[in-house]
Amino acid sequence: MCCGPCAIYPLKKMLEERIEVCGFFYNPNIHPYTEYRKRLDAVKILADKMELRVIYCDEYSMEEFIRNTIDNVSTRCGYCYTSRLEATARAAVENGFDLFSSSLLYSKYQDHELIKHIGLRMANKFGAHFYYSDFRIGWKEGIKESKEMSLYRQKYCGCIYSEKERYLGIKAG
């Protein structure tokens, strides 16, 4: 889970399928830190409302993200997806879960096929199962519910580059 709003629809879908879900919050490269805290707090509010158990990986490793992306900013999302899905798959195995998934699969703004590809690769690496679903079909439903819950809704993807692009009016490539 990267934030509250993006997690609503995936959680509902899995719960409807009678999957016993535990959240895993990991969102280490959000800029600035105050924005990171807002997203973390939104997950806590959602968890409370949905009575959801969440494992919080409260790591803010902005420097590591920048070190690994600064020389090739245009491919940063692949690194970002990999680090998130790797941490999620590892946590799933360490905590004895049968499968893992990602709220990244909900976003219309992400490279969906790349996320799916990396998820399957991480499943293979850790000997876990990747629960794939095109959660984008619940885009409008998720937005509506996040508004009804008055959850904090972010205005840009998250990292320092996306924040710059958002407020300089640069279209993401």
Binding of ligand SF4 by 6 (CB under 6 A): no
d(CA 123, CA 48): 29
Q: Residue 25: helix, strand or coil by DSSP?
A: strand
Binding of ligand SF4 by 43 (CB under 6 A): no
With CB under 6 A as the contact rule, the residue among 4, 76, 105, 154 that binds ligand SF4 is 76
- The DSSP letter of residue 105 is G
With CB under 6 A as the contact rule, the residue among 47, 77, 91, 92 that binds ligand SF4 is 77
* Site map (CB under 6 A) of ligand SF4, residues 84-123, x = contact: ----------------------------------------
Binding of ligand SF4 by 162 (CB under 6 A): yes
Please report which residue ranges of the chain form alpha helices under DSSP H: 4-16, 33-50, 62-69, 76-94, 112-126, 139-148, 160-168
d(CA 136, CA 139): 5
Q: Where do contacts with ligand SF4 occur on this chain (CB under 6 A)?
A: 29, 76-77, 80, 157-159, 161-162
